Homo-oligomer: A and B are copies of this chain.
Amino acid sequence: MDIAVPSETRPDLSPGAAMHAFMRELFPLCRSITGPGLRETIQRIAGRIPLQVHEVPSGTDVLDWTVPDEWTIRAARIESLDGRTLVDFRDSTLHVVGYSRPVDAVLPRAELARHVHTLPDKPDLIPYHTGYFANSWGFCVTHRLWESMTDDAYRVVIDSTLAPGSLTYGDLLVPGESTDEVLIHAHCCHPSLANDNLSGIAVATWLAQRVLAQGGLRRPRRLSYRFVFVPATIGAITWLARNEPTLDRIRHGLVLTCVGDPGGFHYKRSRRGDAVIDRAVAQVCRDRGISLDVRPFRPTGYDERQYGSPGFDLPVGCFMRSPDRGFPEYHTSADNLDLVRPEALEESYEVLGEVLDLLEADRVWRRVDGRGEPQLGRRGLYRLLSAQQGAACQESLLWVLNLADGTRSLLDMAEHSGLSFRELRDAAALAAEAGLIVETA
């Protein structure tokens, strides 16, 4: 596969096209929960945002787990006995089962069959399998190919190493005025699968760039932002173990996965169910008039399970387009760069950007003097001629002035009034400017 031209040399690209190009760069790398593919991927992300890259030695205890040995895959193929290569890892990283131990043997077909995975009902697709603790080996091939392999025996070669090394991950903290953190998480341990989860990696990277571009003296960021790029499960557990002292700063979090296909948006609530992040995602979709399929928390799925384990119970939801197992290409070779569309990535990026903006802008307001409505006219907040078809007083301004009693945030007000967050935020800015409301500490 070609090494794509890094998209930073092409400033004319829309964010969606640029993210897609970044995914194209990363697609051929054979990621796993450890190893050179993961390491290279983390480095490439670090080439775009100032990640701290961490290496955690195999054997390190992390909560109830232990960082495993590192897996390096150099080659893997199945040959016919007359030397033709029938299956080659260089054609697709999906061909070798993750964490396959080294093999160099001639095997009868029947024995080989015990190590070959196919999808009989999708005969042209290669499935995705891993065996992190299996201490075994395997290949994934199309069912069509497997059925055409009718020899009595084959030679299998897997040139891999499983040995003490380290697990790689990257994280980035963008500090704000407050130590309260928004966590954005993308898992990085899948080989050549685009939606799951190069799409999450790309969107998370672009959100980090967006956050870094905001802020500055003129408008400092209120919240801090933490971006975490880790292999799933063991990586999340490692990150949690190494950041325990500051986990209580995480006020809102999102696991990003499968955000690039053309399907509708799905959101899985945090374990708490009614955390601000759960409400914020729903509010933004309502405000944008896009449908959102909201599902309750379940302890299956992605790393929201680790953040939402009972000892942490962090307010972290999972944001997706088509959900895991909810699209037919899931965990097959059909989850490729054609499935993922630039415009779908871009929409995910924009929705999430608006969610972050909401979290930034959400405040609790209180009237300086809440007795009666204020006289808006003399403050230039009211058109002077009251007409029959409704006063020119913005309804949003009246809502803010009515609900600002020191107990309600703008998000509360949006949910209560049915107006959009943006309208209420703008009305609150107007009211604050006029000295009618102040922020509650």
Chain A positions near chain B (C-beta within 8 angstroms): 63-66, 119, 127-134, 136, 233, 236-237, 240-241, 244, 271, 298-300, 305-306, 308-313, 325, 331-332, 366-367, 369-375, 377, 384-388, 390-391, 395, 398-399, 401-405, 417
Contact = CB atoms under 8 A, between A and B. Distances in A.
Contacts of A133: 377, 384
Contacts of A136: 385
11 contacts: A64-B369, A66-B375, A134-B385, A237-B373, A241-B371, A244-B371, A271-B402, A300-B398, A306-B372, A309-B373, A309-B402
B308 A386 contact: no
A161 B375 CA distance: 23
Contact of A311 (B370, B375, B391): B370
A404 B310 contact: yes
Contacts of A130: 386
A332 B388 CA distance: 9
Nearest to A325: B390
Given A63-B371, A370-B309, A300 B395 contact: yes
Given A310-B402, A310-B403, A395-B300, A372 B129 contact: no
A370 B391 CA distance: 56
Given A370-B310, A371-B312, A372-B64, A305 B402 contact: yes
A156 to B, nearest CB: 18
A299 B65 contact: no
B127 A388 contact: yes
Contacts of A374: 64
Contact of A405 (B63, B64, B313, B385): B313
A306 B386 contact: no
A258 B8 CA distance: 66
Contacts of A373: 64, 233, 237, 299, 305-306, 309
Contacts of A387: 129
Given A398-B299, A398-B300, A131 B371 contact: no
Nearest to A131: B385
A237 B375 CA distance: 10
B384 A134 contact: yes
Contacts of A390: 325
Contact of A63 (B237, B308, B372, B395): B372
Given A64-B369, A64-B375, A398-B300, A386 B131 contact: yes
B386 A129 contact: yes
Contacts of A325: 390
Contacts of A308: 402
Contacts of A131: 384-386
A384 B133 CA distance: 6
A302 to B, nearest CB: 12
B299 A369 contact: no
A104 to B, nearest CB: 22
A299 B403 CA distance: 9
Contacts of A128: 388
A182 to B, nearest CB: 21
A237 B370 CA distance: 12
A370 B307 CA distance: 11
A258 to B, nearest CB: 15
Nearest to A135: B384
Given A64-B369, A64-B374, A299-B402, 20 more contacts: A63-B369, A64-B371, A64-B373, A130-B386, A131-B384, A134-B384, A236-B372, A237-B372, A240-B371, A298-B417, A299-B395, A300-B391, A300-B395, A300-B398, A305-B402, A310-B370, A311-B369, A312-B370, A312-B371, A331-B388
Contacts of A66: 375
